[in-house]
């Protein structure tokens, strides 16, 4: 309802009547007393619930702990709170909503994996879902009722037919080719390594989704979509400023975007759904293009009648490939370069292994994986050391009241896995900021028990675990293995010839984090390797020519609407 209509609907004549009958002072006093009693009753309820929930700092009435949040990187603060309260999970009140933060791998596994039947829903999310990609987007879907669960299963199934474990094996050839082009580009313009990774990651999901590769790092699909993802990621960190404050006061989200600067431009404008309209147009365009019959957009349009998919669902199914898969994968590769630069000693065993198994005449392929155990461990450590989705992506929410260690976790509570704290626990990862691949080799003294096979929780948990995990893992392995095989990453020198240091803590503050820009020197390890990379890069370009193409749509055009 528009604000003007709201005022029209107010029974103002009653107010006038009451003012004449009881006088303004009496009325004001009554209102004040009612308000104070209401606030006290509400606060008593908050304190009662708090006494049953996991420990945490004392909330204030109405605003909870919101204003105790630090300006940046709240995951570090939650890790400290967990230590302070000596509890693996803590409660932190964002406004009147208690949120639970899991800071320990075993508790995350107990709750989000072993009790996945209860913990696989999402809470109501104003900023990320209602004003962002939509609460009915797979990533945000609430699964409290049977009907919601069935719809979520359909969305998950359709997504897995695009990027599930079996399916992504078919993408290995073009993923490998795109990765060879990263190496080729690094030979020519090593200083643009971030752009090369962004191009690679975006191109892979673009071929999967739209049958079209992205050959230029300046393609707007990269510059606009990745910039948009960075903005979304920075807006969605729990915080005490707008727009995140709307989670505490949801009524503020009801104002039209045009007259509500605190919404930071989020939400639809008039009839325009902007992001949705853009991804729908992109998918429709790809579905109508001749060739590449196996691309995901074509599949989604083919299956639409069977699953009764509406345009918004089609848009989010295809848009998620970019939204969830490009910034995450490229940021992980930037982290890999930082680790290689900051911990050069960890590359020596990798080079020994690669030189023995692969040699200099060709780069590593998927078939080499089983013969490169150290390389596999090194990639696992990239995922562990600085996980991109640092608070585990979107929160989970239980579909019923639950108890853990005697603590109540009420239905629909916002439950967030603090991946930073989980991957920094000294018990599982001694000296956690040291990049150390041996942690992932079971016969090595640095190995420690950790729940599950993987040795990290970078991709989330249980039934909501990342749908694109297999695609991201195989691509990251391949590209990191190729980088290590092909390049020496040394300190860049300043104008005086002095090595420029790097800071392993200098990361962005968003929900998806990546290292802030840093300079490195990237050079091929040998002439034979350089020649192999040139040869493979040229061949890959020829192989990928079939995916060359243009889209007529620009995200910025839709956002101007
Ligand atoms: C390094 C790369 C990636 C990382 C670290 C990552 C991480 C995550 C995390 C932490 C979640 C939330 C899991 C949870 O709630 O427990 C998630 C969900 C999701 N991811 Fe990824 N992701 C990556 C790449 C991808 C790719 C390449 C795609 C698709 C092409 C993708 C698609 C999705 C989808 C659709 C969901 C929502 C699943 C659901 O809610 O049911 N991700 N991802």
Cα separation, 205 vs 493, whole angstroms? 35
Contact 416, 102 (CB under 8 A): yes
Cα separation, 218 vs 202, whole angstroms? 12
Q: How far is the CA of 325 from the centre of ligand 1 (A)?
A: 7
The finding on whether 468 has its CB within 6 A of some atom of ligand 1 is yes
**Least confident residue range of 12-16, 180-184, 417-421, 539-543:** 12-16
What angle do the packed helices 327-342 and 469-486 form, to 10 degrees?
Answer: 30
**pLDDT given at position 201:** 96
Helix H or strand E encompassing 373: helix 373-385
Average pLDDT over residues 367-382: 98
**pLDDT given at position 85:** 98
> What's the gap between Cα 132 and its chain centre?
14
Contact 127, 243 (CB under 8 A): yes
The finding on whether 102 has its CB within 6 A of some atom of ligand 1 is no
Minimal-distance CA residue to ligand 1 atom 34: 467
pLDDT at 391 over 90: yes
Return mean pLDDT, the chain: 93
The finding on whether 105 has its CB within 6 A of some atom of ligand 1 is no
**pLDDT given at position 8:** 57
Minimal-distance CA residue to ligand 1 atom 14: 460
Query: pLDDT per residue over 543-561, tens digit each?
Result: 999 999 988 888 777 766 5
Mutate to test the pocket of ligand 1, among 102, 171, 324 (most ligand atoms within 8 A of CB): 324
Q: How far is the CA of 433 from the centre of ligand 1 (A)?
A: 24
Residue 274 pLDDT level (bands cut at 50, 70, 90): low
Residue 136 pLDDT level (bands cut at 50, 70, 90): very high
Residue 452 pLDDT level (bands cut at 50, 70, 90): very high
Higher-pLDDT residue of 136, 243: 136
Ligand 1 atom closest to residue 396's alpha carbon, by position in its atom list: 15
Q: How far is the CA of 394 from the centre of ligand 1 (A)?
A: 9
**Least confident residue range of 119-133, 382-396, 437-451:** 119-133
Higher-pLDDT residue of 13, 364: 364
Residue 466 annotated as part of some ligand binding site: yes
The finding on whether 196 has its CB within 6 A of some atom of ligand 1 is no
Query: pLDDT per residue over 325-340, tens digit each?
Result: 999 999 999 999 999 9
Structural domains present in the chain: 1-52 (no CATH), 149-547 (1.10.630.10)
If we measure between CA atoms, which residue out of 174, 180, 173 comes closest to residue 533?
180
Average pLDDT over residues 173-195: 98
Cα separation, 71 vs 68, whole angstroms? 9
160: three-class secondary structure by DSSP: helix
Spatial CB neighbours of 215, under 8 Å, sequence gap ≥ 6: 199, 203, 548
């Amino acid at each position: 309802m528009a604000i003007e209509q709201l005022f029209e609907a107010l029974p103002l004549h009653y107010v006038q009547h009451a003012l004449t009958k009881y006088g303004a002072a009496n009325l004001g006093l009554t209102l004040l007393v009612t308000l104070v009693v209401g606030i006290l009753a509400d606060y008593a309820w908050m304190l009662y619930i708090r006494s049953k929930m996991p420990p945490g700092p004392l909330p204030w009435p109405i605003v909870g702990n919101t204003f105790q949040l630090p300006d940046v990187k709240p995951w570090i603060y939650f890790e400290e709170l967990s230590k302070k309260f000596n509890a693996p999970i803590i409660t932190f009140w964002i406004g009147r909503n208690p949120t639970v933060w899991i800071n320990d791998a075993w508790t995350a596994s107990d709750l989000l994996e072993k009790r996945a039947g209860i913990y696989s829903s999402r809470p109501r999310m104003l900023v990320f879902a209602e004003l962002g990609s939509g609460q009915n987007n797979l990533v945000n879907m609430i699964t409290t009722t049977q009907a919601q669960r069935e719809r979520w299963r359909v969305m998950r199934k359709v997504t897995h037919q695009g990027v599930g474990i079996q399916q992504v094996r078919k993408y290995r050839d073009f993923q490998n080719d795109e990765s060879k082009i990263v190496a080729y580009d690094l030979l020519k313009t090593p200083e643009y390594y971030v752009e090369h990774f962004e191009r690679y990651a975006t191109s892979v999901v673009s071929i999967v989704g739209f049958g079209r590769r992205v050959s230029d790092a300046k393609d707007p699909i990269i510059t606009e979509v990745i910039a948009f993802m960075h903005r979304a990621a920075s807006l969605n960190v729990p915080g005490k400023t707008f727009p995140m404050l709307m989670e505490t006061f949801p009524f503020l989200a009801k104002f039209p975007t045009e007259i509500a600067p605190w919404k930071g431009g989020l939400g639809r404008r008039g009839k325009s759904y902007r992001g949705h309209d853009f991804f729908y147009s992109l998918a429709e365009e790809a579905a109508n293009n001749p060739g590449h019959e196996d691309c995901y957009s074509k599949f989604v349009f083919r299956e639409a009648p069977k699953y009764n998919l509406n345009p918004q669902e089609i848009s989010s199914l295809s848009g998620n490939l970019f939204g969830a898969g490009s910034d995450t994968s490229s940021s992980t590769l930037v982290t890999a370069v930082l680790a290689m630069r900051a911990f050069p000693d960890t590359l020596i065993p990798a080079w020994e292994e690669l030189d023995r198994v692969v040699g200099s005449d060709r780069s590593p392929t998927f078939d080499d994986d089983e013969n490169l155990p150290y390389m596999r461990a090194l990639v696992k450590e990239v995922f562990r050391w600085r996980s991109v989705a640092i608070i585990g992506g979107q929160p989970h929410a239980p579909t019923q009241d639950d108890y853990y260690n005697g603590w109540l976790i009420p239905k629909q509570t916002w439950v967030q896995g603090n991946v930073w704290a989980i991957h920094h626990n000294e018990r599982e990862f001694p000296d956690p900021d040291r990049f150390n691949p041996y942690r992932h080799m079971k016969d090595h003294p640095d190995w420690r028990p950790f729940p599950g096979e993987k040795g990290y929780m970078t991709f989330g948990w249980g039934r909501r675990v990342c749908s694109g995990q297999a695609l991201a893992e195989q691509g990251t392995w391949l590209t990191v293995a190729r980088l290590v095989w092909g390049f020496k990453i040394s300190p860049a020198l300043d104008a005086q010839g002095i090595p420029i240091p790097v800071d392993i803590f200098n990361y962005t503050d968003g929900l998806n984090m990546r290292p802030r820009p840093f300079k490195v020197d990237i050079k091929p390890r040998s002439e034979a390797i350089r020649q192999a990379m040139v040869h493979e890069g040229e061949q890959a370009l020829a192989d990928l020519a079939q995916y060359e193409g243009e889209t007529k749509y620009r995200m910025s055009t839709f956002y101007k609407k």
